[in-house]
A and B are shown apart, each in its own frame.
Chain A
Amino acid sequence: AQSVTQLGSHVSVSEGALVLLRCNYSSSVPPYLFWYVQYPNQGLQLLLKYTSAATLVKGINGFEAEFKKSETSFHLTKPSAHMSDAAEYFCAVSPRYNQGGKLIFGQGTELSVKP
Chain B
Amino acid sequence: DVKVTQSSRYLVKRTGEKVFLECVQDMDHENMFWYRQDPGLGLRLIYFSYDVKMKEKGDIPEGYSVSREKKERFSLILESASTNQTSMYLCASSGLAGGRAKNIQYFGAGTRLSVL
Please determine whether B31 and A107 come into contact, CB atoms closer than 8 angstroms. Answer: no
Cβ–Cβ < 8 Å partners of A63 in chain B: none
- Specify the main secondary structure of chain A where it touches its partner: mixed
Please determine whether B109 and A101 come into contact, CB atoms closer than 8 angstroms. Answer: no
Q: Which of A14-22, A41-49, A66-74, A77-85 contacts B (4 or more CB under 8 A)?
A: A41-49
In the complex, number of A-B residue pairs with CB atoms less than 8 Å apart: 60
**A28 near B: Cβ within 8 Å?**
no
Cβ–Cβ < 8 Å partners of A36 in chain B: 107
The interface size of chain A toward B, counting residues with CB under 8 Å, comes to 23
Q: Which of B33, B42, B103, B108 contacts A32 (CB 8 A)?
A: B103
Residues of chain B in range 101-116 having any CB-CB distance to chain A below 8 Å: 102-110
A residues in contact (CB < 8 Å) with B: 9, 32, 34, 36, 41-46, 49, 51, 90, 94, 99-103, 105-108
B residues in contact (CB < 8 Å) with A: 4, 9, 30-31, 33, 35, 40-43, 45, 48-50, 56, 90, 92, 94-95, 100, 102-110
